[in-house]
Amino acid sequence: MGLGNPGPEYEATRHNVGFQVIDLWRKDLGLRLSSRLFHAKSLRADLQGVRILLLCPLTFMNESGQSVRACASYYGLKTSRILVVHDDLDLPLGRVKVVRDGGAGGHKGVSSIIRHVGSVAFCRVKVGIGRPRYGESVGDFVLSPFYADERQLAQKVIRLAVNACERFVLEGVESAMNHINRQNFVNKEERN
């Protein structure tokens, strides 16, 4: 499940990085998000013999849980099989972190999912977006595109997040955490 807000005005924003990850993954699979079930754009696919469902709720971020609950109920998904991809202010751009369980950390989309599914026992791919540089409010920052000098790095991180999702599906959460959480693109150019 990739989190974001529907509509073209939000498409390239930091808060929509979850949608951006799902969009890149579906392009890799050569498929389109077309179904309108569960108040979301979704698709069912096969990843190396494993059935997956990609979902982008269209309920706006703060009500993402409605869509996730409807989907999980319909398919009888165990909460532990749900993977939520979302932006994270507390991680710098250049970092992706796979986690199991835990609180919302102030993220309203994750909070909505916890409230609607009644559990924190789902996995997440947190995509670091960093913090505002120029004194803008957090609200304005997350609803703005990446700064011009961040865009190339953002694309690398979105690709890494897709890899995290695939590892979760094919190898499990432990493998995804072990492989992804140690990778760090932050200031990599400066260290080379």
Rounded to 5 degrees, what are φ and ψ at 157?
Answer: -70, -40
Task: Give pLDDT, residue 192.
Answer: 37
pLDDT tens digit sequence for 24-38: 999 999 998 887 789
Global pTM? 0.94
pLDDT at 175: 95
Q: Check 15, 39, 86, 107 and give the catalytic one.
A: 15
Answer yes or no: 15 catalytic: yes
For residue 191, the model assigns a pLDDT of: 40
Q: Give the contacts of 37 (CB within 8 A, at least 6 positions apart).
A: 70, 71, 74
Residues of the chain predicted below pLDDT 50:
189-192
Domains of the chain, residue spans: 8-191
Question: Superfamily for 8-191?
Answer: Peptidyl-tRNA hydrolase (3.40.50.1470)
CA distance 61 to 154: 20
